[in-house]
Chain A
């Protein structure tokens, strides 16, 4: 019962602030509404017993990416963006596409019988995740670190002021 209530509250927080993100004409308000969206998703992760991923989500999404987006908004024109049009002429088509996709996905998800697995997650997931990253997923780990290095250099070179 408590789990269901927590799920409903977290989903409403996530989806309501996501609606503000996509519809608000004030771009700063959109960026700040990302924070409750990400924190609601963090709560969903905790409901799914993924505490380590939840901590990383707070650190990277709610902390770093939101601040990065706010910095770019402040460094570019227009400030809040209230004086300029924020949406293009595809609003009805975009709404239609999103609604149709949502209906199809919900119909498929509720019509499918998913396989049920027995067993349970380990009580603390951080240690098994670290072990997986250094044994079975070590190639993914190394390649991800390479991608991080490349994107770091790429971002510096692209954003650098040319002389």
Chain B
């Protein structure tokens, strides 16, 4: 049996759903960011798999995946800075306890 496009798509769909579950159920803001990283990785697997199997002449999928990785690093940096700021002001990083709009 040959490994085809569908196999990679199914693995990335499962990874995306695991990330979605983390985002929906976790209380800790850092764990929610981990779930977002899993979802971004699933999207990257999709981009690279489509690049190989449906458009191997152009490398646009890999270029996009590199841009997504860069923006994921930005997102992690800013997101974790927000977590630090919230912890300093409210002394909690549990998102269901952060319920004030003005301190």
Contacts and interface: CB of A to CB of B under 8 A. Distances in A.
Interface of A: 3-4, 7, 11, 14-15, 18-19, 21-22, 27, 30-31, 34, 37-38, 41, 44-45, 47-50, 52-53, 56-57, 60-61, 64-65, 68-69, 71-73, 75-77, 81, 84-88, 90-91, 93-95, 97-99, 101-102, 105-106, 109-110, 114-117, 119-122, 125, 128-129, 132-133, 137, 140, 144, 147-148, 151-152, 154-156, 158-159, 161
Given A18-B15, A88-B27, A94-B24, A110 B81 contact: no
A152 B8 contact: no
A120 B53 CA distance: 9
Most buried by A among B31, B57, B65, B87: B31
Most buried by B among A56, A61, A154: A61
A140 B63 contact: yes
Nearest to B27: A88
Contacts of A65: 37, 72-73, 76
A95 B17 CA distance: 9
Chain B binding surface SS class: helix
A27 B3 contact: no
A86 B3 contact: no
Chain A binding surface SS class: helix
Given A34-B37, A98-B21, 7 more contacts: A41-B44, A57-B69, A72-B83, A106-B13, A114-B54, A121-B59, A154-B78
